[in-house]
Amino acid sequence: MTYRVIQWATGNLGRAAIQGIGSHPELELVGCWVHSAAKVGRDAGELAGDNPVGVRATNDVDALLALGADCVLYSPIMGQSEEVIRFLEAGINVVTPLGWFYPRRTADVATIEAAARKGDATLHGTGIHPGGITERFPLMLSALSRDITHVRAEEFSDIRSYAAQGVVRDIMLFGKAPEEAAKSPMLQILGGGFGQSIDMIADALGVTLDEERGTHHEMAVATAPIDTPVGVLETGTVAAQRFTWIGLVGSEPFITVRVNWLMGTENLDPAWNFASGGERFEIEITGDPSFTTVFHGLHPENIEAGQARNPGMVATAMHCVNAIPYVCAAEPGIQTYLDLPLVAGRAAPALRG
């Protein structure tokens, strides 16, 4: 069976998703939404850096809804519940990396669930961090241990390879004064997704978390001007950030989720670095036995390669793409990793029977 898919937005992730949909044997790209008027009318394949696929990008939402697609891969910069509800009520399944991983505390969860039931459609949140490294893989690895006392999921990334100047400068607040960056919305923006990850792990492992979570925001500033793809970071401005979210049990950490974002490792105060492990993702299970799993290969070889095609973005996109057949076959409603079967990729075309 072939599932008809709309790709919503063509940023770094959206372009990789278009490529992934095109190579997946069970998927067909039938629509593509774009925010920029300059992209309207262009071929989606060309927008993704590939050959034409015969699908013209549009910003006409009604026209896309009228396509009768099976699923929309929803990946704008910021997700809007109203848009997701509209898809679901129209009977279109939604796969997204923008949240809804495990939204039991989300204010509009009942409304979204009702929309999904009304349209006989399914919503699934997935991705990489959050969306995989933070909950799916820790839960899988937890099966190797007993008497677990702590779970840690952590990212170490050189943010210079992230090709989104507006996000890095205006949302992440790199290059701003520490006083301004201290008001960063990232604790709240990312905390929504990571909070759901923490809830999922806690529920699956059978613990009741304290109502209040621990959060930390740490910064390092440039000790000299740092030249980056988003411009020069002046001396004294923020050049590295560390955000931490902690699920507590009896005021003690049980689940720790953290991101370490650095604009390189030179001219920083404090003198942060990636140590011998380099850029990576880590999952640590403390129990019997205790162990650490390290993911390499999800970061680019260098800054230039990352600006062109970031493996982390591709992995995020493919976690969404590969979930689509399973989501389309699922029962209506919000379906998480705890509800769906194991999601798998597909072999290269030349190897398929």
pLDDT in tens, 13-45: 999 999 999 999 999 999 999 999 999 999 999
Contact between 33 and 11 under an 8 Å Cβ cutoff? The reply is no
Nearest CA-CA partner of 133 in 332, 293, 291: 293
Q: In the chain, what percentage of residues exceed pLDDT 70?
A: 100
The answer to pTM > 0.75 is: yes
In angstroms, rounded to a whole number, what is the distance separating the alpha carbons of residues 269 and 116?
49
Q: How confident is the model at residue 170 (pLDDT cuts 50, 70, 90)?
A: confident
Contact between 94 and 124 under an 8 Å Cβ cutoff? The reply is yes
Q: Is the pLDDT of residue 353 over 80?
A: no
Nearest CA-CA partner of 233 in 255, 210, 261: 261
Q: Where are the alpha helices (DSSP H) in 24-145?
A: 44-47, 61-65, 81-89, 109-119, 136-142
Q: How confident is the model at residue 186 (pLDDT cuts 50, 70, 90)?
A: confident
Provide the 3-class DSSP secondary structure of residue 23.
Answer: helix
Q: Specify the amino acid at residue 43.
A: D
| Predicted pLDDT of residue 291 | 98
pLDDT in tens, 309-323: 899 999 999 999 999
Q: Specify the amino acid at residue 214.
A: G
| Predicted pLDDT of residue 147 | 98
In angstroms, rounded to a whole number, what is the distance separating the alpha carbons of residues 111 and 100?
13
User: How many CB atoms lie under 10 A from the CB of residue 188?
Assistant: 10
What are the DSSP calls for 171-188, one per residue? Answer: IS-TTS-HHHHTT-THHH
Least confident of 46-50, 168-172, 273-277: 168-172
| Predicted pLDDT of residue 223 | 98
In angstroms, rounded to a whole number, what is the distance separating the alpha carbons of residues 75 and 8?
6
| Predicted pLDDT of residue 338 | 96
| Predicted pLDDT of residue 18 | 98
Domains in the chain, start-ordered, CATH in brackets?
3-127+314-351 (3.40.50.720), 136-297 (3.30.360)
pLDDT in tens, 215-265: 999 999 999 999 999 899 999 999 999 999 999 999 999 999 999 999 999
Segment 148-153 shows an average pLDDT of 98
